[in-house]
Chains A and B, each alone.
Chain A
Amino acid sequence: MAAPMPGRPVAAVAIGASTGGVEALLQLLPALGGESAVSVFAVLHLPRERSSLLAEIFAPRCRLPVRDVQDKDPVLPGSIYFAPPDYHLLVDDGPQLALSMDPPVEHSRPSVSVLFESAAAVYGPRLLGVLLTGAGSDGASGLQAVQRAGGVTVVQQPADARMPQMPEAALACMTPDHVLTLEEIMSLFQALPCEACA
């Protein structure tokens, strides 16, 4: 398969993953170049204790800075944000970061769908939504919202995912722009055209 492109520059990337997500993101996020100006938001379902370690794990391996998430912080270009443990992470007008303690969605807090829907409302067609490995079905309805808002949608090939359920749940209710292996998503990230670098 040829290296797929989102087709147009994006301002932000929203990524969701559950089981196997840390390993997958350890391949993907370092692929983003240090000169990239995209803002990256990631929701990983993890036990509380482990998710507070995400910045420590990722910061030394990524060329983009991993930033601490504080409510109402302005979203900076060329930055990576992880949803903090036990809060939903949302993108609000501005764009700025927003947090919520609303009930779990699809048994998850943070929830991938909550992030995707909020980012879709703010970025519209300038968003790339990526749904990766995981058990459960979180993220499917959110990725649909990304698509409805005109954003680019990518689902990891179920056969390539450590846990195929999350990708399968999305594929059962929508046709994303791309269904890709992790390797292919990596090359997409390496060549990601972003607004500010265009």
Chain B
Amino acid sequence: MNAAPPSAEDVELRLLVEAIYHVYHYDFRHYARASLRRRMSAAMAHFGCRSLSELQGRLLREADVFTELLEYLTVQVSDLFRDPGYFRALREKVVPLLRTYPSLKIWIAGCSTGEEAYSMAILLREEGLLERSLIYATDINPNALRRAEAGVYDAAKVPDFTANHRRSGGHSSLSDYYSAAYDRVIFDKRLRRHIVFSDHSLATDSVFAEVQLVSCRNVLIYFDRELQSRALDLFYEALCRKGFLGIGLRESLRFSSHADAFAEFAREDRIYRKVDG
């Protein structure tokens, strides 16, 4: 492909993410461009801005605009037990090995609104491991973390959640873990006691604990190769010897400088095991 001069939009996008980094210390500089472009144009429409430069002008002067923009830059939609095969593999292949640890620490990186953290807690409860487990669920979006902590979801999603849970090999009833009120369901506090929701950036923060399992799914797709490599370095450092790493079904470890340090454990379900270090 011939190197075409960068378009005005590309230059504006680069400047905008630099501005966000300098003023608000959120680092989107190594986010994948295609998704970033799309999210920014949705934000432009929302704010009624005709160009990214105009959006940047407002962003630099109005902190509220950034808070709102952050919702556009981190928006993700998930389900409980999304990709049931992944949770089935965790349950059938990883859990028997996790049982050998006297206490367990698990890191859900990029937890968004908490669906995966609650799925993990339910799975551990069913396998009798929750009482000795601590789940760190981290994200960069404070609003998403607040919603995750509340554990309140749209009741209309429950049929899908329930079907996924069953297909993941769940052997209790999902309804044991939430109470319904009008069009909402709220997940049980006894699950939440084992989850610590906290603010953490894979782009700028470092490792905070040693863990036996990292689950980071459909987060790497939003990063460029360089940031993927940084995130995977963090997971490598955080994992104990023979710890497990689960990623999204369309993601890979090939941009990690530690790719060789991970062996395929459940190939189809993208679960890896740290083999040395």
Using a CB–CB cutoff of 8 Å, the interface residues on chain A facing chain B are 11, 69-72, 84, 87, 90-95, 98-104, 114, 117-118, 121-122, 124
CB–CB A118/B34 < 8 A: yes
Q: A71-B220, A90-B35, A101-B77 are in contact. List 4 more A-B contacts (CB 8 A).
A: A70-B252, A118-B37, A121-B34, A121-B37
CB–CB B250/A100 < 8 A: no
> Given the interface contacts A71-B250, A98-B32, A98-B221, does A118 sit within 8 Å of B77 by beta carbon?
no
> Given the interface contacts A92-B34, A98-B221, A102-B76, does A69 sit within 8 Å of B1 by beta carbon?
no
B196 interface residue per 8 A CB criterion: no
Interchain nearest-CB distance for B277 vs A (Å): 25
Instruction: Choose one: A95, A100, A122; the contact of B35 (CB below 8 Å).
Output: A100
Interchain nearest-CB distance for B32 vs A (Å): 5
Q: Which residues of B contact A71 (CB under 8 A)?
A: 220-221, 248, 250-252
B222 interface residue per 8 A CB criterion: yes
- Complex Cα distance, B33 from A7, in Å, reads 30
CB–CB B38/A117 < 8 A: yes
Instruction: Choose one: B4, B218, B255; the contact of A101 (CB below 8 Å).
Output: B218
CB–CB A103/B32 < 8 A: no
B75 interface residue per 8 A CB criterion: yes
Interchain nearest-CB distance for B17 vs A (Å): 14
Chain A minimum-CB-distance residue to B9? A121
CB–CB B77/A102 < 8 A: yes
Using a CB–CB cutoff of 8 Å, the interface residues on chain B facing chain A are 1, 4, 7, 9, 32-35, 37-39, 41, 75-78, 218, 220-222, 225, 228, 248, 250-252, 255
Q: Which residues of B contact A11 (CB under 8 A)?
A: 1
- Complex Cα distance, B249 from A71, in Å, reads 10
- Complex Cα distance, B251 from A84, in Å, reads 12
Q: Which residues of A contact B252 (CB under 8 A)?
A: 70-72
Interchain nearest-CB distance for A186 vs B (Å): 28
- Complex Cα distance, B39 from A95, in Å, reads 19
Interchain nearest-CB distance for A129 vs B (Å): 16
- Complex Cα distance, B251 from A98, in Å, reads 10
* The 7 nearest A-B residue pairs measured at CB: A92-B34, A90-B34, A98-B34, A118-B34, A71-B221, A99-B221, A100-B35
Interchain nearest-CB distance for B154 vs A (Å): 13
CB–CB B39/A102 < 8 A: yes
Q: Which residues of A contact B37 (CB under 8 A)?
A: 117-118, 121
Interchain nearest-CB distance for A76 vs B (Å): 12
- Complex Cα distance, B228 from A171, in Å, reads 41
CB–CB A90/B76 < 8 A: no
Q: Which residues of A contact B251 (CB under 8 A)?
A: 70-71
Chain A minimum-CB-distance residue to B6? A93
- Complex Cα distance, B255 from A30, in Å, reads 34
Q: Which residues of B contact A99 (CB under 8 A)?
A: 221, 250
- Complex Cα distance, B41 from A70, in Å, reads 25
CB–CB B250/A103 < 8 A: no
CB–CB A72/B77 < 8 A: no
Q: Which residues of A contact B4 (CB under 8 A)?
A: 124
Interchain nearest-CB distance for B10 vs A (Å): 8
- Complex Cα distance, B245 from A130, in Å, reads 40
CB–CB B38/A103 < 8 A: no
Interchain nearest-CB distance for A41 vs B (Å): 12
Instruction: Choose one: A87, A93, A117; the contact of B250 (CB below 8 Å).
Output: A87
Instruction: Choose one: B1, B228, B250; the contact of A70 (CB below 8 Å).
Output: B250
Chain B minimum-CB-distance residue to A113? B38
Interchain nearest-CB distance for A188 vs B (Å): 23
Q: Which residues of A contact B38 (CB under 8 A)?
A: 90, 100, 102, 114, 117-118
Interchain nearest-CB distance for A54 vs B (Å): 14
Q: Which residues of B contact A91 (CB under 8 A)?
A: 34
Instruction: Choose one: A70, A84, A92; the contact of B33 (CB below 8 Å).
Output: A92
> Given the interface contacts A71-B220, A71-B221, A72-B255, does A101 sit within 8 Å of B34 by beta carbon?
no
